[in-house]
């Protein structure tokens, strides 16, 4: 079974700073997907970024980028020029690819990191 670990329960930085959230995972699969989701106080889970394991290049979405180290099973999220609206719980998640027989796969989530951006 896959497991996802986020070792930082809480983090706090000043607005405009850069912050990195850590995530490690355990799997015997070679092909899989990794995600970062953001859950603000409004509680809606919002997709931040996605990485395919077969891609060497790290994914980037505007101010959000990842450092994917497949051999180390590490998947950290870097937020540049942090903004007050980035305050939220951040969850790292793992998923195997879907198959026609098994259907779409489930997301396996970490425990989350509570990120606070201070003015």
Partner 1 sequence: DAGVTQSPTHLIKTRGQQVTLRCSPKSGHDTVSWYQQALGQGPQFIFQYYEEEERQRGNFPDRFSGHQFPNYSSELNVNALWLGDSALYLCASSLMGFADTQYFGPGTRLTVL
Q: What's the min distance (Å) between Cβ of 7 and partner 1?
A: 13
Q: How far is the CB of 16 from partner 1 (least distance, A)?
A: 29
DSSP for residue 28: S
Nearer to partner 1, 99 or 119 (CB): 99
**Between the CA of residue 78 and those of 1, 17, 23, what are the distances in Å?**
27, 11, 11
Q: Contact with partner 1 (CB under 8 A): which of 25, 68, 75, 91? A: 91
Nearest to 24 by CA among 88, 78, 108, 92: 92
Decide if residue 77 touches partner 1 (CB under 8 A). Answer: no
Buried b (16+ CB within 10 A) or exposed e, 8-29: beeeebeeeeebebbbbbebee
Q: List all residues 6 or more positions away from 13 whose beta carbon is below 8 Å from its beta carbon.
A: 19, 82, 115, 116, 117, 118
Please report, as residue ranges, which positions from 98 to 117 form the binding site for partner 1 (by CB under 8 A): 98, 100, 102-112
Which residues within the stretch 17-76 sit at the binding site for partner 1 (CB under 8 A)? 33, 35, 37, 42-47, 50
What is the closest distance, in whole angstroms, from the C-beta atom of residue 6 to partner 1 in the complex? 8
Which residues of the chain form contacts with partner 1 (CB under 8 A)? Answer: 4, 33, 35, 37, 42-47, 50, 91, 93, 95, 97-98, 100, 102-112
């Amino acid at each position: 079974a896959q497991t996802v670990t986020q070792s930082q329960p809480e983090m706090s930085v000043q607005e405009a700073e850069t912050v990195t959230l850590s995530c490690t995972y355990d799997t015997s699969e070679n092909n899989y997907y990794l995600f970062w989701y953001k859950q603000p106080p409004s509680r809606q889970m919002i997709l931040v970024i996605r990485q395919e394991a077969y891609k060497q290049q790290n994914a980037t979405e505007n101010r959000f980028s990842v450092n994917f180290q497949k051999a180390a099973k590490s998947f950290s999220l870097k937020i540049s020029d942090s903004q007050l609206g980035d305050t939220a719980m951040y969850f790292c998640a793992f998923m195997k690819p879907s198959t026609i027989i098994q259907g779409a796969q489930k997301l396996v989530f970490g425990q989350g990191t509570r990120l606070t951006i201070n003015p």
